[in-house]
């Protein structure tokens, strides 16, 4: 077992990184005198990881969309008990989530941390799938998929992604489709489990007033030593240009909704934290609530308080985007494009850049006082290969206005962007969805 303390001199904080003999990376951020303890057991496996191979496979295999999310659901059912019943006995609150590039199982507690950690490590390492239970889950997740289809925000987001990407699985609902999950079998679930839930592909992140020796003892007891499968997961190669520049549909909404994204090259692990920070700062300079563009669009009645900016990035995808409600989404797009081109020529004001940078830096520091935020930062740094948990803080501290201008020029191509609009059904020209 290898142990090291990772310290950031800039902010005077540190955490422990342990490479356990089982192959698992364990990250522990000690928070003396904090009552809440938070643990996350995660794997580098999300909805985009549909094509993969291990050293035991002759070639790549492609599995149905939604299988990572399906697997997350099924792990909570052991042969003889329900995991949530076990959590209830220790007083812990448990949960899980599947994103585009990771699956995480987590709990929060104030007492009985050791017993709850045993529950977490035990059930995630004990898959149990049968024809009967898999068939039962298909109906449950099918209802979940239909629920998402009735959510206009969800439709808007994936509509935009379908306009950006031709082939990348990120354009598909994380839960898959009713048709894709119908193809899932116990055999496929076991194959995906043993490929992606290998401890060499996983991380245990813990934050709170915890005892490191107790954690190691429990891990020694419960972790099943595994062989590195040399897992490789790939996403389809993408053309540089967007798939569709504009698309729309009608839905039961009160006001027209839009999502507008810019297709940008995926980011290598080594530069992920820095480029994401650059994107967040750049789109804030362009259109946050303190910007001239925001004020102008708001005063014109083109946007309301629903207007938002986001950097959507992960394994094989990177999209700076704008979203909200507007009576004229095309005019909003036109004004955003004009501001981008104007700023490429004039630049941004130095004082606004410094203010936004300081605000962004401060928000990162504030997360350090929260156990669940810290555990999330730890697991994201591991599963995302971003270096360490301080990468974003260091990246923001070192960003200059010249860096922002380079980013704006390189990654905001108004001719390689896509807008998706949802119009109120009653006021649309046609009652049919596109």
What's the Rg (C-alpha) of the chain?
23
Which tens digits make up the pLDDT trace of 350-404?
999 999 999 999 999 999 999 999 999 999 999 986 779 999 999 999 999 999 9
CATH number of 2-234: 3.30.830.10
Question: Are residues 393 and 365 in contact, defined by beta-carbon separation less than 8 angstroms?
Answer: yes
**For the chain, what is the largest distance between any 2 Cα atoms, rounded to a whole number of angstroms?**
66
Which tens digits make up the pLDDT trace of 255-297?
999 999 999 999 988 899 999 999 999 999 999 999 999 999 9
CA gap 308, 422 in Å, rounded: 16
User: Residue 430 — pLDDT band, cuts 50, 70, 90?
Assistant: very low
Which tens digits make up the pLDDT trace of 327-341?
999 999 999 999 999
Which tens digits make up the pLDDT trace of 2-60?
999 999 999 999 999 999 999 999 999 999 999 999 999 999 999 999 999 999 999 99
pLDDT at 428 over 60: no
Based on the residue annotation, tell me whether 72 is a catalytic residue of this protein.
yes
What rounded mean pLDDT belongs to the chain? 94
Which tens digits make up the pLDDT trace of 218-231?
999 999 888 999 99
pTM reported for the whole predicted model: 0.93
Same fold across 2-234 and 246-424: yes
Catalytic residue among 4, 13, 65, 72: 72
Q: Thinking of the domain 246-424, which architecture would CATH place it in? A: 2-Layer Sandwich (3.30)
Which tens digits make up the pLDDT trace of 126-161?
999 999 889 888 888 999 999 988 999 999 999 999
What was the pLDDT predicted at 427?
52
pLDDT at 202 over 80: yes
Residue ranges of the domains in the chain? 2-234, 246-424
List 84's β-bridge partners, or say none. none
Q: Three-state SS across 320-358? A: EEEEEECCCHHHHHHHHHHHHHHHHHHCCCHHHHHHHHH
List 38's β-bridge partners, or say none. 108, 207
Which tens digits make up the pLDDT trace of 97-118?
999 999 999 999 999 999 999 9
What was the pLDDT predicted at 284?
97
**Which residue has better confidence, 79 or 57?**
57
Q: Please, what sign has the CA dihedral across residues 109, 113, 117, 118?
A: negative
What was the pLDDT predicted at 426?
73
């Amino acid at each position: 077992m290898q142990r090291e303390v990772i310290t950031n001199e800039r902010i005077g904080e540190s955490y422990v990184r342990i490479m356990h003999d089982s192959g698992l990376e364990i990250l522990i951020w000690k928070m003396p005198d904090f009552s809440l303890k938070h643990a996350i057991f995660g794997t580098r496996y999300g909805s985009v990881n549909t094509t993969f191979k291990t050293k035991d496979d002759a070639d790549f295999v492609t599995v149905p969309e939604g299988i990572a999310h399906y697997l997350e659901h099924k792990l909570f059912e052991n042969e003889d008990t329900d995991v949530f019943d076990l959590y209830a006995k220790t007083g812990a609150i448990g949960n899980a989530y599947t994103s585009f590039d990771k699956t995480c199982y987590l709990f929060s507690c104030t007492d009985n941390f050791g017993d709850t950690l045993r529950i977490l490590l035990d059930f995630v390492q004990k898959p149990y799938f049968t024809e009967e239970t898999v068939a039962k889950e298909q109906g449950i997740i099918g209802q979940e998929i239909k629920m998402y289809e009735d959510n206009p925000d969800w439709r808007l987001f994936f509509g935009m992604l379908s306009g950006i990407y031709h082939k990348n699985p990120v354009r598909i609902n994380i839960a898959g489709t009713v048709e894709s999950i119908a193809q899932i079998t116990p055999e496929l679930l076991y194959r995906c489990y043993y490929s992606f839930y290998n401890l060499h592909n996983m991380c245990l992140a813990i934050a709170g007033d915890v005892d490191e020796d107790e954690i190691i003892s429990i891990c020694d007891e419960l972790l099943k030593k595994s062989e590195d499968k040399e897992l490789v997961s790939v996403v389809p190669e993408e053309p540089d240009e967007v798939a569709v520049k504009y698309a729309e549909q009608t839905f039961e909404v009160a006001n027209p909704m839009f999502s507008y994204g810019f297709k940008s090259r995926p980011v290598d692990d080594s530069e992920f934290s820095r480029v994401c920070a650059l994107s967040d700062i750049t789109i804030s300079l362009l259109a946050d609530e303190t910007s001239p563009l925001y004020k102008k669009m708001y005063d014109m009645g083109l946007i309301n308080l629903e207007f938002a900016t986001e950097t959507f990035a992960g394994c094989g995808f990177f999209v700076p985007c704008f979203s909200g409600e507007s009576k004229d989404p095309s005019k909003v797009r036109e004004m955003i494009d004009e501001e981008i081109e104007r700023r490429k020529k004039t630049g941004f004001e130095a004082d606004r850049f410094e203010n936004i940078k300081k605000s962004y830096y401060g928000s990162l520091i504030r997360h350090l006082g929260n156990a669940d935020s810290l555990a999330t930062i730890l697991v994201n740094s591991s599963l995302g290969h971003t270096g360490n948990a301080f990468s974003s803080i260091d990246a923001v501290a070192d960003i200059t206005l010249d860096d922002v201008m380079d980013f704006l020029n390189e990654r905001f191509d108004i001719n390689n962007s896509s807008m998706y609009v949802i119009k109120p059904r009653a006021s649309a020209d046609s009652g049919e969805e596109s």
